[in-house]
């Protein structure tokens, strides 16, 4: 535990030095030269073809006339271990057994592997076809598995820093409907206010660095899907809702460039990982006090939210219909 606390302290020192040299001092210049208002990264699993199409057909349609670019974030590599042979489905690790009733299952492993290799070929072809047709999939150099989401996110930050000019980055998921009109309205105000060199009333200005709903004091789980093997603490630092958060460009630059080689990438989830990575920086967090909408973390519907999360494909289209009819993500009967 003492060793972990010492390493955490050192990581915080490194974060502070890196940020002091590259974070705050570049913001004004960055705003002036940015081309995109918003770069959107939508986390998506390889097999989620229908989910991606449902988003293209719905809220992404509203970005066509805006200064926005989006990509679906998909891992380039496919786990070569058949799902039945993984120690748990979220990881690409093969289990072994020496004796007992499971030996019969093990004996058929080669057959399952051959069948899985055929499925991999079909999946690769299908993904290639979708990518060539839609031109909105960003293949990142990771095995596309749940436990690699922190790596996937960090790869996207690095790619974004190297390849795009933007003021803000939005990360969301392929089961989330984003009220993109409200989000863009807020970001336009924030960028304008941050670009002004003189402030007559600085207490009223909107400084937007990290915008989401944040979970604080969240317990570190020792079992289940969110089991954490690599963070030795009872609780996580504050972290954003994975269904939707916005980062300023300077934070993305810090994560994807200055601190990229220092950051540990094997935490159990990308949301908690982001909280850990930015703990030493401690950027100002916004949850909605001066902002028009707030971010939803789960499937609970709030008509004033920036998003609606955990939607099926059918529910995505239903939400789009309600949004078109009455601008309400929860349906026209909600007030």
* Cβ-contact 210, 278 below 8 angstroms: yes
The predicted pLDDT at position 195 comes to 64
The predicted pLDDT at position 26 comes to 32
The predicted pLDDT at position 214 comes to 95
The predicted pLDDT at position 7 comes to 41
Q: CB under 8 Å to 85, separation ≥6 — which residues?
A: 94, 95, 109, 112, 113
| 239 DSSP β-pair partners | 215
The predicted pLDDT at position 290 comes to 61
User: Residue ranges of the domains in the chain?
Assistant: 2-79+135-294
Rounded distance between C-alpha atoms, residue 102 and residue 114, angstroms: 20
Rounded distance between C-alpha atoms, residue 100 and residue 82, angstroms: 21
Q: H-helix or E-strand containing 153?
A: helix 149-163
Kindly give the parts of the chain with pLDDT less than 70: 1-34, 97-105, 194-207, 289-291, 335
What's this model's pTM, rounded to 2 decimal places?
A: 0.84
Pairing status of strand 137-143 against strand 68-77: parallel
Q: What is the CATH number of domain 2-79+135-294?
A: 3.90.550
In 3D space, the residue among 93, 107, 63 whose CA is nearest the CA of residue 229 turns out to be 93
HEC profile for 90-127?
CCCCECCCCCCCCHHHHHCHHHHHHHHHHHHHHHHHHH
The predicted pLDDT at position 260 comes to 81
């Amino acid at each position: 535990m003492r060793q972990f606390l010492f390493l955490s302290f050192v990581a915080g020192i490194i974060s502070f030095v890196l940020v002091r040299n590259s974070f705050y001092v570049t913001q004004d210049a960055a705003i002036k030269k940015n081309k995109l208002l918003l770069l959107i990264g939508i986390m998506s699993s390889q097999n989620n073809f229908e989910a991606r199409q449902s988003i293209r057909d719905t809220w992404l349609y509203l970005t066509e006339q805006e200064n926005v670019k989006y990509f679906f974030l998909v891992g380039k590599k496919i786990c070569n271990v058949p799902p039945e042979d993984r120690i748990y489905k979220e990881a690409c690790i093969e289990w072994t057994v020496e004796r007992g009733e499971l030996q019969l299952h093990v004996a058929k492993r080669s057959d399952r592997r051959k069948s899985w290799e055929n499925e991999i070929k079909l999946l690769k072809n299908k993904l290639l076809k979708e990518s060539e047709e839609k031109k909105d999939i960003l293949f990142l150099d990771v095995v596309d598995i749940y436990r690699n989401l922190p790596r996937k996110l960090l790869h996207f930050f690095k790619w974004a820093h190297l390849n795009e000019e933007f003021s803000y980055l939005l990360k969301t998921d392929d089961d989330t409907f984003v009220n993109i009109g409200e989000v863009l309205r807020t970001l336009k105000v924030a960028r304008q206010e941050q670009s002004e060199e003189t402030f007559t009333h600085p207490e009223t200005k909107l400084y937007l660095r990290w915008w989401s709903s944040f979970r604080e004091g969240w317990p570190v789980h020792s079992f289940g899907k969110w089991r954490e093997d690599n963070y030795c603490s009872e609780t996580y630092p504050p972290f954003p809702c994975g269904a939707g958060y916005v980062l300023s460009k300077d934070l993305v630059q810090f994560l994807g460039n200055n601190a990229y080689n220092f950051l540990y990438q094997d935490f159990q989830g990308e949301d908690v990982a982001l909280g850990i990575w930015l703990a030493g920086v401690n950027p100002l967090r916004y949850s909605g006090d001066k902002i028009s909408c707030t971010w939803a973390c789960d499937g609970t519907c709030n008509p004033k939210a920036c998003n609606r999360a955990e939607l099926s494909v059918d529910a995505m289209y239903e939400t789009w219909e309600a949004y078109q009819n009455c601008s309400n993500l929860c349906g026209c009967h909600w007030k």
